[in-house]
Amino acid sequence: MVTTPTRDPSSNVMSLPLPSPKAPPEYPDLYGKRREMAKVQMLEREISFLEEELKSSEGFQPASKCCKEIADFVMANSDPLLPTTKKNRKTCRLWKWLCRMRCLNLSWICCRCCDCFSGCCNCKQNCKCSSCLSSTKCSLSNWCCCFDKKSHCCKEFCGCNNCCCILSGCNFRWPFPSCCDCKCSCSCTCPSFPKVRPCGSCTKC
Amino acid sequence: MTCAFSPTGQSVACGGLDSVCSIFNLNSPTDRDGNLNVSRMLSGHKGYVSSCQYVPGEDTHLITGSGDQTCVLWDITTGLRTSVFGGEFQSGHTADVLSISINGSNSKMFVSGSCDATARLWDTRVASRAVRTFHGHEGDVNSVKFFPDGNRFGTGSEDGTCRLFDIRTGHQLQVYNQQHSGDNEMAHVTSIAFSISGRLLIAGYTNGDCYVWDTLLAKVVLNLGSLQNSHEGRITCLGLSADGSALCTGSWDTNLKIWAFGGHRKVI
């Protein structure tokens, strides 16, 4: 409010009115507004990123496939921190139990853990066994039963008529009677002539 | 807080509370006291440097994670920042970055773990936003490490769990969680590493435990913390040798210990 100057009656001087305090001018808070707008823009950008991600997630492969990839990778690579000759018995027992569950199709992994047991191996994929017996029925086509000659199978030609079966490592039933380690015994008779070598080389079971 | 060898082994990077990542050339002469002088200082972070790793195959590039909520790709030759991931004006972590891990199969990708309880996957060619954000943890993600096949990564967290995520789909594939014996409070995971085949996940905890997890079965196969001559304090860091035959653990008990299959040697 502008006040008009007044004349002092005692003198001829015009005196200016006393200043009256005024409120500071209202400047627009541009910095705060711009900051808030920037935050809103960032949130809108995050929303569009999430919408894009949601759309792209429709074509993703199921998690089970990812798990299989991990298992395949782990089994295919050796590890210095893991024993190679000694089997992890606890893990083998778990896999044996899992592999016997017919409702679970774990054949893709059953043959990679421990020995080939109670199931079928895909002989084309890193079969540790030296021979595949295609005569044994497998639940999966083009698969065959894989036997490791060393531990589960008998030598085909023992060279003797009698085989003593020592059931080492055979903890499951197979249709083959020769699932054992072969020790041959020879039965021989000593001839009557004294110049002939005695039967010292024959061993009994 | 962090250190790393260069791929050729010719230099070392380390960073900490000074917000700087210092580079030391191991071929340079030492001073009279046997100390090596800094050959380059990477300055620019506005917070502590929590983690650093050289880009595989490149002695001239390095990625750091920082308490300023960003990750930075550095050109060591010039000392300048090539890219900044996250920060005030870009989409990224909303709290301190505690750990990073570069994909050994594709060095253009790396993951970061943060106090915002997420891990984020980044493409070094696109700094404006993360490729994917991984939720699930209920506390700070203290450690991230890529799985050897480059398509998955593991995390270790303040919530006491480790997790396995797929980078292509974002799926959380596995949770590694087990109650620690004799603990009323949950032990936090401070550091993780995968064995060379990925079959084992090794995790260090704040209570001195060091669990060796079977990655596939999510079972603890061994607790190094229960063995004779185990650490007497928090495990703060661990790492595997290049050939995967030995594990080294560091602890608040001031010791570094080297563990190998069938043996144990202590390094002071």
B151: CATH: 2.130.10.10
CA-based nearest residue to B259, from A97, A189, A81: A81
pLDDT, average across residues B13-24: 95
pLDDT at B113 over 90: yes
Distance from CA of B32 to the nearest CA of A (A): 42
Residue owning tokens 């492969």: A61
B89 domain-assigned? yes
Rounded Cα distance between A23 and A163, Å, is: 115
DSSP state of B234: -
In a domain, B56, yes or no: yes
Q: Which two tokens stand for residue B251?
A: 């602890």
Residue B91 has its nearest CB partner, among A45, A73, A74, at A45
Closest to B15 measured CA to CA, from B85, B62, B83: B62
Among B91, B170, B198, whose Cβ lies nearest the Cβ of A49?
Answer: B91
Nearest to A14 by CA among A2, A5, A1: A5
**A49·B214 Cβ contact <8 A:** no
Task: Tell me how far CA of residue A76 lies from CA of A70, A73, A79, B61, B64, in angstroms.
Answer: 10, 5, 10, 32, 33
d(CA B238, CA B261): 16
**Percent residues over pLDDT 70 in chain B:** 95
The number of beta carbons lying within 10 Å of the beta carbon of residue A130 is 11
Give the residue from chain A lying closest to B245, CA to CA: A80
Measure the CA–CA gap between B257 and B230, rounded to whole angstroms.
Answer: 8
Which contiguous run of DSSP H or E holds residue A74? Answer: helix A63-76
A chain contacts of residue B164, beta-carbon cutoff 8 Å: 70
SS3 at position B71: strand
Alpha-carbon span B152 to B216, nearest angstrom: 13
Model confidence over B154-191: pLDDT tens digits? Answer: 999 999 999 999 999 999 999 999 876 665 678 999 99
Tell me which chain A residues have a C-beta less than 8 angstroms from the C-beta of B198. Answer: 70, 73-74, 77
Complex ipTM above 0.90? no
Identify the closest residue of chain B to A38 by CA–CA distance.
B89
Give the strand order in the sheet containing B219-223.
B189-194, B200-205, B210-214, B219-223
- Please answer whether residues B121 and B134 qualify as being in contact, where contact means their C-beta atoms are separated by less than 8 angstroms: yes
Spatial contact of B103 and B166, defined as CB atoms under 8 Å apart: no
The closest of A54, A75, A72 to A64, measured between CA atoms, is: A72
pLDDT score of B139 more than 90: yes
Give the type of residue at A91.
T
Longest dimension (CA), chain A: 175
At A99 the three-state DSSP class reads helix
Kindly tell me the sign of the dihedral angle through the C-alpha atoms of B29, B30, B32, B38.
positive
Q: Which of A53, A66, A80 sits opposite B196 (nearest CB)?
A: A80
Please give the average per-residue pLDDT across B206-219, as a whole number: 94
Tokens of B194: 């995968």
Optimal mutation site among B199, B238, B259, interface A, most CBs of chain A within 10 A: B199
Picking from A48, A53, A66, A89 by the largest number of B CB atoms within 10 A of its own CB, the best residue to mutate is A66
Q: What is the mean pLDDT of residues B95-121?
A: 97
- Tell me whether residue B193 is in a domain: no
Beta A145-147 vs A131-133: how paired, if at all?
Answer: antiparallel
**Range from A24-28, B28-32, B74-78 carrying the lowest mean pLDDT:** A24-28
How far, in Å, CA of B21 to CA of B44, rounded?
9
The answer as to whether B165 is a domain residue is yes
Q: Which residue has the higher pLDDT, A107 or B149?
A: B149
pLDDT for residue A108: 52
Q: List pLDDT tens digits, range A75-118.
A: 888 888 887 644 444 555 565 555 555 455 555 555 444 333 33
Task: Say how many domains are in chain B.
Answer: 1
**Percentage of the residues of chain B whose pLDDT score is greater than 90:** 84
Distances (CA, A) of A102 to A107, A110, A118, A135: 10, 12, 11, 21
Q: How far is CA A18 from the centre of its chain?
A: 88
**Angstrom distance (rounded) from CA B52 to CA B73:** 10
Distance between A101 CA and the closest CA of chain B, angstroms: 17
Residues 6+ apart with CB under 8 A from B189: B142, B143, B156, B157, B158, B160, B161, B162, B203, B204, B205
Identity of residue B82 = T
Domain residues for B115?
2-177
Across A43-72, b (16+ Cβ under 10 Å) vs e yields eeeeeebeeeeeeeeeeeeeeeebbebbbe
Please provide the distance, in angstroms rounded to a whole number, between the alpha carbons at the two ends of chain B.
19
Residues of chain A with pLDDT under 50: 85-89, 102, 111-205
The arithmetic mean of pLDDT across residues B91-111, rounded, is 95
**Assigned domain for B195 exists:** no
Convert the pLDDT of each residue in A182-195 to its tens digit: 444 444 444 444 44
Q: Over the stretch B114-127, which tens digit does the pLDDT of each residue have?
A: 999 999 999 999 99
In this complex, the residue of A45, A57, A81 whose CB is nearest that of residue B200 is: A81
Tell whether B122 is covered by a domain. yes
Of A97-106, B46-55, B109-118, least confident by mean pLDDT is A97-106
Return the SS3 of A197: coil
Q: Is residue B33 part of a domain?
A: yes
For residue B253, being part of any structural domain is answered with no
User: For the segment B236-265, what is each residue's pLDDT rounded down to a tens digit?
Assistant: 999 999 899 999 999 999 999 999 876 444
